[in-house]
């Protein structure tokens, strides 16, 4: 990174940290957390969905926005839609879009639409926990503006609302803004060729 | 480690690897996996419970055995018992025991009882996925024998049954035996004193 770019980056990170510190100062015993699950290992989304299960169990209204390509039906989606439609709102940002078309404009529109829904859910006083599943992918490709997302989380998120953002390659700005960051690391994954993704484990 | 102990350890690990390789040779496209979630970060148990959600969504009968101290009611437990009793069997190895008493004999009895239930569930041809939540803690304190557990997983687990074992400090023998190991690493956890564990996120 050139020196001036380095300096700009450092200044930006310092500002995010200062905003986070100011937010923290207003908190006492409880606060809504900004959680990030990243890394190349398994469990980023599934632990997000595990938290959704906990919210449902505790009667905390919650919402999921999935920033995924295509329309592949997943187990979580099926279960939440079929069994927990009253307790958990479920949205797919790419729904109706075919991200596989390599049409960057459509991808951006899908991600932006997901982020619009995400903001509405986070601002909704009914909702206590919002899972932004795989949003890091949309951020990585700059389909969403990282500064806008971080600014919203630090300054507009209601104090008691938890937001969990998942996906590999979390941006440094997001890590700086977060309260809790977990990296899932793959220690061992020796599937030999020919072993498929397993239903229940990976889908 | 003294040299002869080192050599014994290496020989033991070699045998586990050989047994695993033999097991893998019999598999083609699908197989039941031995999954391990370890590390000091968040998400080990919640991603296990996320997988349970996927199993329920796919109509795969499943079971959970929790190797935990005490009787603290958790969100997952409440939800699985209240809403999914038909789809997921739920057991707590320490139930009825007070691990807090520091009575090592009782702790061992509780862990052994949990392992007995775990084996029954894994062997049950109805059951497709078994979550052994926090079993690594019982293994770490030698309340359960690691050789016995690994031997059972490699030689008696039905070929198509998935088993997920969670908890920090997974033993090397278990990592060697596993198909997929994920380490959850805490990148950032800057709660200041006075911020409590948050319902829905950590309970």
Whether residue B34 is contained in a domain is answered as no
CATH number at A110 reads 3.40.50.300
What pLDDT, on a 0 to 100 scale, did the predictor assign at position B7? 83
Q: Which residues does chain B have within 8 Å of residue A196's beta carbon, measured at their own beta carbons? A: 29-30
Select the more confidently predicted residue: A129 or A105: A129
Q: With pLDDT > 90 as the criterion, what percentage of chain B qualifies?
A: 49
Q: Please indicate if any CB of chain B lies within 8 Å of the CB of A112.
A: no
Whether residue B21 is contained in a domain is answered as no
The verdict on a CB contact (< 8 Å) between A75 and B53 is yes
User: From its phi and psi, is residue A83 left (phi > 0), alpha (psi between -120 and 50) or beta?
Assistant: alpha
ipTM of the complex: 0.74
Question: Does the structure show a pLDDT above 50 at B194?
Answer: no
Whether residue B192 is contained in a domain is answered as no
Q: Measured between CB atoms, which of A33, A83, A191 is closest to B179?
A: A191
Average pLDDT, chain A: 84
The string of pLDDT tens digits covering residues B11-26 is: 888 888 888 777 766 6
In terms of C-beta distances under 8 Å and separation of at least 24 residues, what long-range contacts does A77-83 make, across chains too?
A78/B57, A78/B58, A79/B53, A79/B54, A79/B56, A79/B57, A80/A52, A82/B57, A83/B83
Q: Give the position of tokens 């632990």.
A: A47
What pLDDT, on a 0 to 100 scale, did the predictor assign at position A14? 83
Whether residue B45 is contained in a domain is answered as yes
pLDDT band of B70, cuts 50, 70, 90: low
Mutation target among B27, B41, B174 for the A interface, most CBs of A within 10 A: B41
Whether residue A199 is contained in a domain is answered as no
Question: Does the structure show a pLDDT above 80 at B199?
Answer: no
Whether residue A10 is contained in a domain is answered as no
The angle formed by the CA atoms of residues B56, A38 and B35, to the nearest 5 degrees, is: 45
Task: Give the length of chain B.
Answer: 203
The verdict on a CB contact (< 8 Å) between B53 and A35 is no
Q: Span A106-135, mean pLDDT?
A: 94
**Stretch 68-97 of chain A: residues touching chain B, C-beta under 8 Å:** 74-76, 78-79, 82-83
CA atoms A70, A73, A77, A82: torsion sign: positive
Whether residue A16 is contained in a domain is answered as no
- DSSP one-letter code for A65: E
Whether residue B24 is contained in a domain is answered as no
Weakest mean pLDDT among A116-120, B102-106, B176-180:
B102-106
Q: Please indicate if any CB of chain B lies within 8 Å of the CB of A42.
A: yes
Structural domain boundaries enclosing B130: 40-183
Question: Does the structure show a pLDDT above 60 at B170?
Answer: yes
CA distance B155 to B176: 14
What pLDDT, on a 0 to 100 scale, did the predictor assign at position A97? 47
Number of domains in chain B: 1
The verdict on a CB contact (< 8 Å) between B185 and A39 is yes
Nearest to B92 by CA among B67, B120, B70, B117: B67
B41 → chain A, closest CA residue: A182
The string of pLDDT tens digits covering residues B75-94 is: 888 889 888 999 999 998 87
């Amino acid at each position: 990174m050139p020196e001036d770019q380095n300096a700009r980056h450092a200044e930006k990170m310092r500002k995010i940290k200062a905003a986070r510190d100011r937010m923290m100062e207003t908190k006492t015993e409880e606060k809504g957390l900004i959680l990030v699950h990243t890394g190349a290992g398994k469990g980023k989304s599934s632990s997000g969905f595990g938290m959704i299960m906990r919210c449902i169990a505790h009667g905390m209204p919650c919402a999921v926005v999935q920033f995924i390509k295509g329309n592949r039906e997943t187990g979580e989606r099926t279960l939440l839609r079929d069994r927990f439609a009253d307790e958990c709102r479920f949205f797919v940002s790419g729904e109706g879009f075919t991200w596989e078309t390599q049409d960057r404009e459509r991808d951006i529109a899908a991600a932006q639409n997901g982020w619009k829904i995400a903001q509405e859910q986070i601002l909704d006083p009914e909702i206590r926990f919002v899972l932004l599943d795989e949003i890091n992918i949309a951020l990585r490709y700059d389909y969403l503006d990282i500064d806008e997302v971080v600014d919203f989380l630090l300054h507009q998120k209601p104090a008691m609302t938890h937001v969990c953002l998942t996906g590999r390659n979390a941006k440094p700005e997001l890590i700086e803004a977060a309260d809790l960051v977990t990296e899932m690391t793959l220690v061992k994954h020796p599937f030999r060729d020919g072993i498929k993704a397993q239903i229940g484990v990976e889908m």
